[in-house]
């Protein structure tokens, strides 16, 4: 099979796409996968370091405001469609999959024009703008949440869960533990989260009573490493503070409790591994999808939710303190998370794409 995967822009779109690409190669070792993205997205940096090729098109988001952006979108979207048509003619894929992000729309639309089977994969409980626009023209819609909005259930819609990278699922490292040691992983996405970092800086002394047994791994992003590190040192807490954690699989397996945003990729990884978490929805997410993602898992007791607006009053640290000494609740949260996890989502999507390519049109 030859598959084009279009989209990216952020890790939330790209990493599930990579999981699908690798699952397809496992199902069909002769498969060829081509990524299509933009030069400004994360895919331009990440894909060249993988085993997959990438091509770039011109694309711009439809949500951009202002007259200049509206004019540029009106010009660039047709250009992107034409570029995609030429690209698809050259590669001759059996299927085109859009994963959200700027490049997804023109490429999937071009595939539809050319009569190539098309599909989209939505990571969040609230569908992104590009995917919303494509729902009426694609052959398959892969969703990650039962109540994804605004999707009308049909025989084209398949609930798969959000794909998780194998390197996250299958970390082989062992982490021997000292008695009573409690391990806390904190991160706010690939670039960190300023409000989470500031909450730690301002309030970390409130969990200093656990310093003798608490071990923390904290991904801050570029600008807060030294300040966060100093805050932990002043509180007497042993912490490893990093700009970026390269091996997230090992970090997840190491942790007893996770603190993070409620992006779809993070929640998919947490549930696939059965890890308890405190999540802080990003308040400016489009359609407030992070809050909705979090609410689904909070309702089944898999996560605790802290509002971003409550970070500065110490609520996050209070929640951490409550959970450190409540092993029974942590175990129940972990079990609830595992029940919600779908670790084989990538494989399911890969198999559906193979079936889609073979099905009569």
- Alpha helices for 43-193 (secondary structure H): 43-46, 67-91, 104-113, 129-134, 166-169
Binding region: 10-12, 124, 165, 190, 245, 290
Binding region for UDP-N-acetyl-alpha-D-glucosamine: 10-12, 124, 165, 190, 245, 290
User: From CA 87, how far away is CA 35, in angstroms rounded?
Assistant: 11
The helix (run of H) or strand (run of E) holding residue 5 is strand 2-6
Q: Is 300 within 8 Å of 335 (Cβ atoms)?
A: no
Q: Is 183 within 8 Å of 209 (Cβ atoms)?
A: no
Percentage helix, strand, coil for the chain under 3-state DSSP, each rounded to 5: 50, 15, 35
Residue 154 CB-density burial (10 A; 0-12 exposed, 13-18 middle, 19+ buried): exposed
User: From CA 309, how far away is CA 318, in angstroms rounded?
Assistant: 15
Instruction: Please give the angle made by the CA atoms of 103, 191 and 189, to the nearest 5 degrees.
Output: 80
């Amino acid at each position: 099979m030859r598959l084009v995967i279009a989209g990216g822009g952020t890790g939330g779109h790209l990493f599930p796409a990579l999981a699908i690409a690798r699952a397809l190669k496992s199902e069909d070792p002769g498969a060829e996968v081509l990524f299509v993205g933009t030069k400004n997205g994360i895919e331009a940096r990440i894909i060249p370091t993988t085993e997959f090729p990438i091509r770039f098109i011109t694309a711009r988001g439809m949500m951009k405001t202002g007259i200049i952006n509206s004019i540029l979108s009106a010009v660039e979207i047709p250009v992107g469609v034409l570029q995609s048509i030429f690209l698809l003619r050259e590669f001759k894929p059996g299927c085109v999959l859009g994963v959200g992000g700027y490049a997804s729309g023109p490429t999937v639309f071009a595939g539809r024009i050319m009569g190539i089977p098309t599909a989209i994969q939505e990571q969040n409980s609230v569908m992104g703008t590009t995917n919303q626009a494509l729902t009426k023209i694609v052959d398959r819609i892969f969703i990650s949440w039962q109540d994804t909005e605004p999707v009308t259930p049909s025989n084209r819609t398949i609930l798969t869960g959000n794909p998780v990278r194998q390197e996250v699922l299958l970390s082989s490292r062992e982490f021997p533990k000292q008695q009573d040691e409690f391990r806390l992983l904190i991160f706010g996405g690939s670039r960190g989260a300023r409000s989470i970092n500031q909450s730690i800086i301002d309030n970390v002394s409130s969990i200093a009573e656990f310093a003798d047994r608490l071990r923390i791994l904290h991904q801050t992003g570029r600008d807060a490493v030294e300040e966060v590190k100093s805050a932990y040192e002043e509180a007497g807490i042993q912490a490893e503070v990093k700009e970026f954690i390269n091996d997230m699989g090992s970090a997840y397996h190491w942790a007893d409790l996770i603190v993070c945003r409620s992006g779809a990729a993070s929640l998919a990884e947490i549930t696939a591994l059965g890890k308890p978490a405190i999540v802080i929805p990003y308040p400016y997410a489009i359609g407030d999808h992070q809050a909705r993602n979090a609410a689904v898992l909070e309702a089944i007791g898999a996560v605790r939710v802290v509002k971003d607006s409550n970070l500065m009053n110490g609520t996050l640290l209070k929640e951490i303190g409550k959970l450190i000494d409540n092993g029974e609740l942590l175990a129940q949260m972990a079990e609830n998370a595992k029940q919600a996890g779908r670790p084989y989502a990538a494989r399911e999507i890969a198999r559906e794409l193979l079936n889609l390519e073979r099905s009569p049109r």
